Structure 1
């Protein structure tokens, strides 16, 4: 069965660019973005000043209103490469013959996407749901490295993993930390099961 063509010109380069953060450790990313968010001469405030947006400059990691969004932005940027590769591989597995047949029958782009492409890549969508859920419940390393405190300011960037770490290695409450770890495991397992059940569809197979 014939597959899709080469696709977007330069797509290989785009994949490398998007996947590059996956090659760096979380610790390196956290340290790099500490310099990006530095209040005085950081890259972000420097760029805002260079384009005349001095009023938007601020202490990104020291402001409770911006600390969590700043860390979340780094988390998203560091993970997006995985999903680009995941969905690129899934899209390339969609047979071109089926898409062309639907197009000849008068189906528009949205209809082709909804009726053909999405059902055929739905397994990858479910995988993405699971990984996103785990990522949302984690975030420990970046918060530990980047945030004030860590977990601050005013607990604005506090996450479950950081609370668990502090209970065990700061306060010595290993039993409490173990209970939190087990609870986090079951929460993750439950949310994964619910996400898979909510997004369950009949498997689409093509001969």
Structure 2
């Protein structure tokens, strides 16, 4: 049931996003569109409540509960960023807005961008770890919480790996590609020179 709810929340996220943006830009109802977009966090609240009820009813903590915590953490860390990026694209595509700013590709600007994404991953991992810890305390000695502990380790591992990847952009900044052929400069011909 938890996995089905996670899938339903993901589908609901995208449905609410498309409906909210369509109302905002296509139907020219920005307030109603904003209200629909504000419903997005309710999906995570529903998932959290159902997961808690599942544990309260005596379900053995397992990978599904860990996955639910990771999903909620990811939504907290990346939800606003995702909505903002898609909003910019939608406004440009359907409402004549300016083209969305693309992430930088090279140099320290790219390194800063990757660092900001890593901070989002740390937030996502921290939220997941806190939710998992609360679930461990909630279950207490009544059940086996090894799976939840493993998910906490997975959250830390994901943040660590992403941190190493982000660090590579700082240590070895990506450089713009150089032109393959050198630029030829034509000399003006001298007076009397043929040719």
Q: TM-score normalised to the size of structure 2?
A: 0.42
Which is greater in Rg?
A: 2
Q: Relative to total residues, which structure has the larger helix share, 1 or 2?
A: 2
